Amino acid sequence: MGNADKVKTIAVLTGGGDAPGLNAVIRAVVRTALGQGLKVWGIKNGFGGMVENQLVELTNDSVAGILPRGGTILGTTNRDNPFHYPVVRDGQVIYEDLSGQALANLRQAGIEALVVIGGDGSLKIASEFYQLGLPVVAVPKTIDNDIPGTERTFGFDTAVGVAAEALDRLHTTAESHHRVMVLEVMGRYAGWIALHAGMAGGADCILLPEIPFSIDSVIAKIKERQQHGRQFSLIVIAEGAYPQGGEVSVSRIVEGSHEKIRLGGAGEKLARAIEQLTGVESRCTVLGHVQRGGTPTAFDRILSTRYGVAAAECVLEGAFGNTVALQKDRIIRRPIDDIAGKANNITADNELLRAGRSIGICFGD
């Protein structure tokens, strides 16, 4: 892109579930872009805001004081896909491709490029818009850390910290009452939160989607601890974990969402099974959206800021079609198409997994 073709007006949106650090990314994009003379629009409520033309101009005043705030000042949703958008026709909800309308709204506002901050579903939509000719730059966002091509997504560190603190608190009540305490954490089909929080919180068993577990293995660990005088156990289970020969636990189906299947219930099922098989009182705590909310950690604030600056620099350099990523503590660029629609899961040779086995953690296999 030559100097005469440089973008002068951009927009930024946040899509998918919220994550600590979203506001820090927005702040960094806006401050960097404004500092180079660009005009910045915010698209409210994710990709739905593109279709409904929900735009707000972002200034330095708009992003003042938002660095430590959780959530997103723009709003977000994980249901609206412009390529499969819900509309009401004759009293019935049907789905239509309104991507053309979304693009027309951007053109009308003079928006020449888009920064998308989102997870795998949002990145896939961003990739589709890029293929239609819209200059796009993406920032990887999810507490699940399941986006490939980057060592960390922002929000993950905060979620792990919340889960580890919960384990610390459960430890005292488990020990006092001689119970088995099961903590169910988020992560969808990746076990990163469970693995890191379980290691940090001293869990005795960590059950991951990547390793279908045997209930016999879990029971054996509990009995082994009892034989050594430890009358309580701490277990972390990812929401997507499932028993050998079984299936994931589904709480409900949400039509129209990027991710229709809502996981939930794995922890309660496990706690009931343990109590029935051992007679040991067992309780389950589901952290749920507590992991997503609140103030981001210092690490997430810094990573978010680095991502936001890098995304704005991509726009300024005309380096569209890229996702910014973290590799070896450096911010790099990866083609969106190399990342969109793909997953980052824990592999058998993961160093943290190996370390956990070395200190006696049971992974259910």
Active site residues: 144
Q: How far is CA 288 from CA 187, 210, 254, 347, in A?
A: 10, 20, 17, 25
**What is the end-to-end Cα distance of the chain in Å, rounded?**
53
Buried b (16+ CB within 10 A) or exposed e, 49-62: bbbbebbeebeeeb
- Nearest CA to 189 out of 124, 247, 122, 273 is that of 247
Task: Say how far apart CA 144 and CA 19 lie, in whole Å.
Answer: 10
> How is residue 365 written in tokens?
């296999």
> How is residue 289 written in tokens?
């959206």
- Contact call for residues 121 and 78 (beta carbons, < 8 A): yes
- Nearest CA to 182 out of 280, 85, 263 is that of 280
> How is residue 152 written in tokens?
């960390």
Helix (H) or strand (E) holding 68, with range, is none
> How is residue 82 written in tokens?
């412009």
**Interstrand relation of 180-185 and 233-238 (parallel, antiparallel or unpaired):** parallel
- Nearest CA to 181 out of 241, 233, 243 is that of 233
Task: Say how far apart CA 27 and CA 19 lie, in whole Å.
Answer: 15
Amino acid at 338: D
Distance of CA 265 to the CA centre of its chain: 19
- Contact call for residues 93 and 86 (beta carbons, < 8 A): yes
> How is residue 269 written in tokens?
């099922």
Number of H helices, E strands in the chain: 10, 15
Other beta carbons less than 10 A from residue 144's beta carbon: 29
